Amino acid sequence: MNKSLLKILKILLPILLGVFLIGYSLSKLSFQDLLGYFKTADYTYIVLGLFLGLLSHISRAYRWLFMLEPMGYNVKLANSIMAVFATYLINYTIPRAGEVARASILTNYENVPFDKGFGSIVAERVADLIVLLLIIAVTLFMQFDFIYSFFIEKFNPSKLILGASVVVLLVLLFFFIIKRSKAGIGLKIRQFVNGLMEGALSIFKMKKKWAFIFHTLFIWVMYLSMFYVTSLSVSGLSAVPIGAILVGFILATFSIAATNGGIGSYPEAVVIAFVLFGLSEDPSRAFGWIMWTSQTIMIIILGGASLLYLPIYNRKK
């Protein structure tokens, strides 16, 4: 496939998917009804959720300094914070472009070489991925009975066992082929996995590794808390079980990668999770929109202000 066409599709497809999901969501819950949920929401919880989200973003910016310091770069915290908010804002336009912009900002204003800045961001993402996998593992452990009962109810047990066995065999076969492969996509996948492992292990070699680990855990605790607290703002969702919060949070997190900043996909991911736990569809969808809208407004304001203020703050340079 033509590389230019592939780049266009990478930008265009998430946007088209987001537009489609917005239309689908509003076909299930009319704009007037959705507006009604916004009007009756308890904004005390929404503001508290925004505050928790703000803490997570500041913690992420502070954590980044631990990655850069061993390389000999003492970056100003203000520049790191503004770079993080600019990243989130730019990711609403072109997926993953924010990470490139984030490294570029440090190159321009802190003289950090782009490759080193971008490499530190990749290492951060490895740490975040590990924590997300831990959250998924804890969720599977805590909700094992529910998940097991759900699949037994929906699928024939013998077929389920057969399907699981086939999946396990395919996974083992996949890893066997990747391990033996010396060229092509197999080699690239092995190099990628090795890179992830190297990035994860490098965390324990840094000078302030425990501070880095603390902030990594703190960031995700704030994300989860933000999700739970904001759910309290919607009438009809006052007794959301912890399982629904965990599953909803995981699906919503993955939805952000599906479309630009989770536009359209975020509310529907919440609905899928909450309906599994017997919660009403309309308030679940409304919560998804309230959650996504409040966080998006914060990112637009702070990200936009960061992009405007960065050259002013660094005008001496």
Q: 124-147 pLDDT, tens per residue?
A: 888 898 899 999 999 888 877 776
The Cα 129–Cα 262 span in angstroms is 18
Predicted pLDDT of residue 81: 95
Predicted pLDDT of residue 112: 86
| Residue 182 in this model has a pLDDT that exceeds 70 | no
| Residue 184 in this model has a pLDDT that exceeds 90 | no
Predicted pLDDT of residue 234: 93
- The residue ranking higher by pLDDT, 7 or 106, is 106
Predicted pLDDT of residue 39: 93
Enter the tokens of residue 174: 């996949």
pLDDT, tens digit, 9 for 90 and up, residues 72-126:
888 899 999 999 999 999 988 877 788 888 989 998 998 888 888 888 888 888 8
Q: Where are the domains of the chain?
A: 25-313
The Cα 194–Cα 29 span in angstroms is 45
SS3 per-residue string spanning 63-108: HHHHHHHHHCCCCCHHHHHHHHHHHHHHCCCCCCHHHHHHHHHHHH
> In this structure, are residues 60 and 219 in contact, taking their beta carbons and an 8 Å threshold?
yes
> Which amino acid is present at 289?
W
**Residues 194, 186, 177: CA angle, nearest 5 degrees:** 100
Closest CA to 35 of 309, 270, 293: 293
pTM of the predicted structure, to 2 decimals? 0.83
Predicted pLDDT of residue 38: 94
pLDDT confidence tier of residue 198, bands split at 50, 70 and 90: low
**Averaged pLDDT for residues 192-210:** 66
